[in-house]
Structure 1
Amino acid sequence: MKHEIYKQNRELSWLRFNERVLEEANDKTVPLLERLKFVSIFTSNLDEFFMIRVGILFKMAEIKKHWKDNKCQMTASEQLDAIFSETSKLYKKKDSTYSQIKSELSEQGIEFVAYKKCNKEEKKFLKEYYQDNILPLLSPQIVDARHPTPNLQSKISYIVASLKNKNKNILGLVQCPATIPEIIPIGDDSKRFIFAEELIVEHIDEIFSMYKISDKNIICITRNGDLTTDEETDGSEDYRNQMKLILKKRRVSFIVRVEAAKSLSSELEEFILRTLKVQKKQIFVTSAPLKMKFPFSLPEILPVELSGKLSYPLFSPVDSKSVDAKTSMISQISERDLMLSYPYEKMDPFLKLIKEAAEDPNTLSIKITIYRLAHRAKLVDYLCRAAENGIEVTTLIELRARFDELNNIDWSERLEDAGCHVLYGPEGYKVHSKICLITRRNDSQIQYITQIGTGNYNEKTCKLYTDISFMTSDVQIGKDAVEFFKNVCIGNLGGKYSKLLVSPLGLKSKILQLIDSEIAKKSEGALTFKMNSLTDVDVIEKLVEASQAGVKINLIIRGICCLLPGIPGITDNITIRSIVGKFLEHSRIYAFGKGAKEQIFIGSADMMTRNTENRVEVITPIKSKEIKNRLRSILNIMLLDNVKARLLQPSGKYIKIPIESSSDEKLVNAQEMQCEE
């Protein structure tokens, strides 16, 4: 059996997922400003993909030329060629989508205008704005034999111009300041805008007035952002300071992509190829804005009535019905397990638990793993308060959380200053688990309150991502948590646990055993998994085995999926769907079996090799009948979705769920249904 038959390449699968994001921007049932946000999300997703995945492949192509991926046997160079080819198509779709949205916004009176189309009064305003707010921040440069090319920053726009002086060709370069807004409102009604980059381009002749300008353009480079710490550190310095030094190197790493606002002249293209050391296939021309953060600030700038009309209805998380806001969290969890479902329910009960523990004289210790936090975090305030109250607080904070490194460094310093014990996890393994353990003395006994989640303790993203937070006083889970923190603190990755599934050594083997149990049931077996990505070959092979045994398998996978469903005799008992909607589907739920004997687990791990073998993850079983029913209900709603869900095909493409025009089948939007509930 050939690998290609039921597997697909990880990177190409990701690009198809991001194409799904772009589909939301084309969906006319989505409010117009939300569609613009999906173009922005598609853009930022692609930025990170090039910074990390493409960066990794460039390094692999250089140092391991004959290495092949374990899904489709493609070398790194072959994968790069495929990525550049597919990305070119996606840029065309993005440009077409943006153009359509821009046209529809214009019909609503919202315009992004060119300087030449501004009237006399508007040009006067823009001239004054430029002179007062932009010109003082500009640092124009020329590049020639005496003036070397400066170190261009990643994801910063530059205006480039071909200059001539006495038959001498020179390049003019102006960085668009990161401190100025991407779009500038024109007039009093806050509905007409010009891009700051275009305003600088309009004045480029004044900036380089002593030269003749033959061509001008806007470019933006993307540098490799994958910086491993293994070869950078020697153990002689403080790890936090080492991370600060490593992050500086990200600013000067090699270039993986160049974007241009329009087709490059031969002179500008030659300059980019020669001085930036890139290949022609790495240059992408796009008519959409190079920087696209503005769609998230635009609703706040527009008139309230218009913004509300073109956006999703405001939704605020509600108080959980399973939690009594007037009663102690510790006493409630002591009586029964509790669960919060974000973003539909507030994070407040968990924060209240930490605050309560911080002020409780019976609390002996609080231990927590931290991967990502909001820039303002009540959680940190409460942890610091606990330490100041004499409680032993241990925070295992992951400084290598990609693109949150500086934020985490800052938080680690704040926690340490408050008296918390700050650790960074074992060498070579990211600590991605979401687990918090409160140990307290209850009369003469030791009591454990354990919280395990599928997402970060981030008070901002908990309103945007779907996640599960589980809280229990189960003694054995508490003892497992004690063992977990002890092992991670001393770098022991091979600990033994009674209930918790912990990677890198114990999680995958247990998942495979649970799948084997369903294989033994043959056609009576059932598996329902909800996760972000599936790439682990061992898990894929076991799911194929289960499918061939007749087990019915439903996978809800938002992003990467290297397994192809529906292949006769191989994966024809597997259905895979992706849901992209208002909220980012982030929770991981694993259900084995059906009916009263169904076993359900939640946790931080996707079934990716990086999670199952190269990270510290925690998954917990759910025993509470009430919570199991809630989790099964979430899975069932996801499986009923026929509005935002797309079915993965054997070809690797996604299609809408077909609904007969004559059918009375009810339209189900899983996220909207949960909002209503």
Structure 2
Amino acid sequence: MSAEIVESHDAAPEEPFDVEPPYVPDDEALAAVEKYDDRFLDRELSWLRFNQRVLELAEDRDLPLLERVRFLAIFTSNLDEFFMVRVAGLKRRIAAGLAVRAASGLMPRDVLHHIWTTTRELSERQAHLFRDEIVPALGDHGIELVRWDDLDREEQKQCKRMFKDRIFPVLTPLAVDPAHPFPYISGLSLNLAVLIRNPKTGKEHFARVKVPPIFSRFVPLGNERFVPLEDVIGEHLRRLFPGMDILEVHTFRVTRNEDLEVEEDDAENLLAALEKELLRRRFGPPVRLEVEESISPGVLELLKEELGVREDEVFHLPGPLDLRGLHGIADIAREELKYPAFVPTTHYRLAEVESAAPVDVFKAARRHDVLLHHPYDSFATSVQRFIEQAAADPHVLAIKQTLYRTSGDSPIIDALIDAAEAGKQVLVIVEIKARFDEQANIRWARKLEQAGCHVVYGLVGLKTHCKLAMVVRDEPDGIRRYTHIGTGNYNPKTSRMYEDLGLITTDERIGEDVAHLFNNLSGWSRNASYDELLVAPDSVRLGLVEQIHQEISHHLAGRPARIRLKANSVVDEAVIDALYLASQAGVPVQLLVRGICSLRPGVPGLSENIEVRSVLGRFLEHSRVFRFENGGEPVAWIGSADMMHRNLDRRVEVLVRLPGEESLAEIDRVLDIAFDPETDAWLLDSDGTWTRNHGPVHLQEKLIEGQRRRRQST
């Protein structure tokens, strides 16, 4: 980092909205945007294009083979969640008569039709990629995924012993007859549909056998050979049905509506209501049935009738089904088939105070603001160390933190418990409604309460999604607040895979704002005005739209103007329309969007000045950045909010304005690489198509290399 850059506490950016006169679009300007009634891409179809980009990574022969295997598994998990939440929601709205036209102009039934067509194509594409390319490529490297008929006699004997000793005691065959109704099929479970016949009576029966998820999906045979678990079970069904003839065995899998609907009458009853809803989730209606393409028509008709699934919800695929289990194959210790090893390092500002003892985060933060960029900067020696140091420091009086998702063995949870047991005031805002992590969050909430932490669940009707931690410390010159504001969860495990930003600062104005916000979340305070923060649902959308309008003012006045946004999703119509206005006025706009984008770039008269890119790779691009040229006095915000209705209207989200030029320079360094025409990325066309440019520069590898050079120089 250049020595000429001013340190963070020596300079503060100009107020972001202080140029007069402010730009306010008139009716004519608004009409110039609104006349394009097809200006929004459909969000659901845009998401499917995102998962298509994940699949394209699995198809990329330039990537290490086991990383391609990993992307196949990620594609499956992504699509599962899409059906459990988005497709289930569409079906629910249609059934309830709430099928209103989307901003894209499509009705829910039209969207569903496109979803069935697109997901079926993508699922078949994935299955054929796995069978016809990935499996042979693995075999070329000595990793063999085989079916039962490919096993030699010794391997079959090995599987027989394993079935007898370990698998058989766990299995529970469920027959269907007048005394045994059709069993409940849990969502995402892998199952065998078995048709059996009584040789004495000649009568046929249907039975279901669940493939136990507690065993490895692909059974290791030794010498890096694996066989699907369902093949092992299928070959030994006679032990489950002695004396019966096994006529047919088919694999199937059901996806159910697993989105939660919790009525919050008051926060006191939230835990009980959520636990009840979690039990109800198990019995959500089916939204998809996956079957192997070899299934017989009779068995398929039985499954459709008993599950209440329509023909267009059935996916006929080459086996094996459920490729989430490929994570186990990707974990094989064959480092030459993976990305080169990468170890995060301590941020250089924290390393300045590092010695034989652990990093002193407080000492470093008093000297400089610290803008962290994970996973390149170590989470363990920065954010985790920040909380652990605070818990152990006798001068720390209080710790306040939000928790949305965290790992099962979180050292941050342990540190908060240690702090409470040491007599410190510990406030934890736990969002127990974090989708698919609800059960874990309930456990942690109770554990924290039992340790003496003050645990609250935020504001009724709003998810607390912001990433905040504040430490109050008694120092010789008075009370000082140390604040961390991030874009990602306080999760040591995902911090090694997710790209995120975080600011550790002692800036008094930021500390004052964060203190007010914690009071809002834990008490009856309702301060909606902040100096250095934008806080949803009150001010994030409004603040960003005003900042976009301000860029238009700068451009019209001949001052420097440019907008650069980085987000997971850009869907909110008000923000998109403001960006269209900026483009029409001549302001260059660049968006880096990992997932969904409803904005159409490159439409003549509407968005010629807007460029939309997407970068996917070994790390999940997760940070949100909002950078404005601001007439030559650049400002940048980072935080937890995506440009989606749920983030801006139904969540507590926080964006913080970065103090000082050093942090801005770091943001610019990353964005300059991301938007370099030579950088490998997908580019969005006005029709919603994403095309990969296969540039020679790879953003994440470039940042890894920059980290290595910085480490060598220090």
Shorter-chain TM-score: what band?
Answer: over 0.9
Q: What is the TM-score of this pair, normalised by structure 1?
A: 0.94
Asked whether 1:472 is paired with 2:505, we answer: yes
Q: For 1:288 and 1:236, locate their aligned partners in 2 and report how far apart those are by CA, in whole Å.
A: 46
Aligned partner (choices 347, 355, 370) of residue 320 of structure 1: 347
Give CA deviations for 1:290-346 in whole Å, capped at 9, x if unaligned: 233433333554xx4xx1121111111011112122463212212321111100110
Distance change >3 Å, CA 144–CA 642, structure 1 → 2: farther
Distance change >3 Å, CA 642–CA 295, structure 1 → 2: farther
Aligned partner (choices 192, 202, 211) of residue 176 of structure 1: 211
Tell me if structure 2 keeps the 8 A contact 1:224–1:253.
Answer: yes
Mapping 1:605-616, distance limit 5 Å: 605-616=641-652
Tell me if structure 2 keeps the 8 A contact 1:51–1:224.
Answer: yes
Distance change >3 Å, CA 395–CA 651, structure 1 → 2: same
Tell me if structure 2 keeps the 8 A contact 1:182–1:291.
Answer: no
Equivalent in the alignment of 1:664 = none
Distance change >3 Å, CA 66–CA 329, structure 1 → 2: closer
SS at match of 2:100: coil
Shift of 1:289: 3.1
Tell me if structure 1 keeps the 8 A contact 2:69–2:329.
Answer: no
Tell me if structure 2 keeps the 8 A contact 1:426–1:491.
Answer: no
Tell me if structure 2 keeps the 8 A contact 1:19–1:90.
Answer: yes
Equivalent in the alignment of 1:260 = 291
Equivalent in the alignment of 1:282 = 313
Shift of 1:225: 1.1
Q: For 1:197 and 1:288, locate their aligned partners in 2 and report how far apart those are by CA, in whole Å.
A: 11
Equivalent in the alignment of 1:558 = 594
Give CA deviations for 1:425-469 in whole Å, capped at 9, x if unaligned: 111110000011112233363321111000001000111010011
Tell me if structure 2 keeps the 8 A contact 1:6–1:565.
Answer: no
Aligned partner (choices 384, 390, 396) of residue 429 of structure 2: 396
Mapping 1:243-254, distance limit 5 Å: 243-254=274-285
Give CA deviations for 1:175-212 in whole Å, capped at 9, x if unaligned: 1112111111224x2x2110111111122345334444
Aligned partner (choices 644, 658, 670) of residue 699 of structure 2: 670
Asked whether 1:88 is paired with 2:120, we answer: yes
Q: 2:566 is aligned with what amino acid?
A: K
Q: For 1:647 and 1:192, locate their aligned partners in 2 and report how far apart those are by CA, in whole Å.
A: 40
The worse-fitting range, judged by mean Cα deviation, of 649-658 and 310-319 is 649-658
Equivalent in the alignment of 1:662 = none
Asked whether 1:129 is paired with 2:135, we answer: no
Give CA deviations for 1:63-84 in whole Å, capped at 9, x if unaligned: 1344121x22222222222111
Q: 1:579 is aligned with what amino acid?
A: V
Q: For 1:535 and 1:413, locate their aligned partners in 2 and report how far apart those are by CA, in whole Å.
A: 36
Asked whether 1:508 is paired with 2:541, we answer: yes
Q: Whose relative contact order is higher, 1 or 2, with alpha carbons under 8 Å and at least 6 apart?
A: 2
SS at match of 2:226: strand
Asked whether 1:239 is paired with 2:274, we answer: no
Equivalent in the alignment of 1:547 = 583
Mapping 1:139-154, distance limit 5 Å: 139-154=172-187
Q: For 1:629 and 1:658, locate their aligned partners in 2 and report how far apart those are by CA, in whole Å.
A: 27
Equivalent in the alignment of 1:663 = none
Shift of 1:25: 0.4
Q: For 1:319 and 1:135, locate their aligned partners in 2 and report how far apart those are by CA, in whole Å.
A: 49
Q: What is the TM-score of this pair, normalised by structure 2?
A: 0.89
Q: For 2:643 and 2:76, locate their aligned partners in 1 and report how far apart those are by CA, in whole Å.
A: 26
The worse-fitting range, judged by mean Cα deviation, of 503-512 and 331-340 is 331-340
The worse-fitting range, judged by mean Cα deviation, of 15-24 and 634-643 is 634-643
Shift of 1:650: 1.1
SS at match of 2:675: helix
Q: For 2:526 and 2:676, locate their aligned partners in 1 and report how far apart those are by CA, in whole Å.
A: 40
Aligned partner (choices 602, 620, 623) of residue 659 of structure 2: 623
Equivalent in the alignment of 2:487 = 454
Q: For 2:478 and 2:529, locate their aligned partners in 1 and report how far apart those are by CA, in whole Å.
A: 24
Shift of 1:470: 0.3
Shift of 1:364: 2.2
Q: 1:669 is aligned with what amino acid?
A: H
Equivalent in the alignment of 2:636 = 600
SS at match of 1:520: helix
Tell me if structure 1 keeps the 8 A contact 2:432–2:441.
Answer: yes
Q: For 1:444 and 1:23, locate their aligned partners in 2 and report how far apart those are by CA, in whole Å.
A: 57
**Fraction of identical pairs, as percent:** 35
Mapping 1:180-191, distance limit 5 Å: 180-187=215-222, 189=223, 191=224
Count residues with an aligned counterpart.
Answer: 661
Distance change >3 Å, CA 461–CA 641, structure 1 → 2: farther
Tell me if structure 1 keeps the 8 A contact 2:349–2:364.
Answer: no
SS at match of 1:521: helix
Q: 2:126 is aligned with what amino acid?
A: K
Equivalent in the alignment of 2:325 = 294
SS at match of 2:474: strand
Q: For 1:576 and 1:676, locate their aligned partners in 2 and report how far apart those are by CA, in whole Å.
A: 25
Tell me if structure 1 keeps the 8 A contact 2:384–2:492.
Answer: no
Shift of 1:351: 2.1
Q: For 2:544 and 2:206, locate their aligned partners in 1 and report how far apart those are by CA, in whole Å.
A: 58
Shift of 1:386: 1.3
SS at match of 1:367: strand
Tell me if structure 2 keeps the 8 A contact 1:65–1:76.
Answer: no
Give CA deviations for 1:368-425 in whole Å, capped at 9, x if unaligned: 1110101111111111111112111000000000111111111111111111000001
Aligned partner (choices 408, 419, 426) of residue 459 of structure 2: 426
Distance change >3 Å, CA 288–CA 544, structure 1 → 2: farther
Equivalent in the alignment of 1:344 = 376
The worse-fitting range, judged by mean Cα deviation, of 436-445 and 149-158 is 436-445
Distance change >3 Å, CA 371–CA 25, structure 1 → 2: same
Distance change >3 Å, CA 198–CA 386, structure 1 → 2: same
Q: For 2:109 and 2:202, locate their aligned partners in 1 and report how far apart those are by CA, in whole Å.
A: 41
